[in-house]
Amino acid sequence: DIQMTQSPSSLSAPVGDRVTITCRASQSITSYLNWYQQKPGKAPKLLIYATSSFQSGVPSRFNGSGSGTDFTLTISSLQPEDFATYYCQQSYRIPYTFGQGTRLEIK
């Protein structure tokens, strides 16, 4: 299986800050990397697919980049509704696997 490792596991930041979450794959997944946002008690929500493509309705303050094994999700200016847990997921090879999650909290 392809292992996905996110860092940091948790992050505290104030509204308006710029934050970056990283995701590393144990082998190359080219650009088949997706990002999800999950709020407590809710299903995950697809934010970005194929490394950098926005899902419909996702604000432009979210940005994804990377290729091969190293990827990042950047939120340019944190809004109150952005505090959640973020997961990366590879969809390059079965079984699809997720990172362990990054919990983003208000500072």
Residue from 62, 83, 86, 87 in contact with other proteins (CB under 8 A): 87
Chain-centre distance for alpha carbon 61? 13
- Sign, CA dihedral 43-57-103-79, equals negative
Residue 102 found at the interface with other proteins (CB under 8 A): no
SS3 category, 82: helix
40-59 residues in contact with other proteins (CB under 8 A) are 42-46, 48-50, 53, 55
- Looking at the Cβ atoms of 16 and 81, the one nearer to other proteins is 81
Binding site for other proteins (CB under 8 A): 1, 32, 34, 36, 42-46, 48-50, 53, 55, 87, 89, 91-101
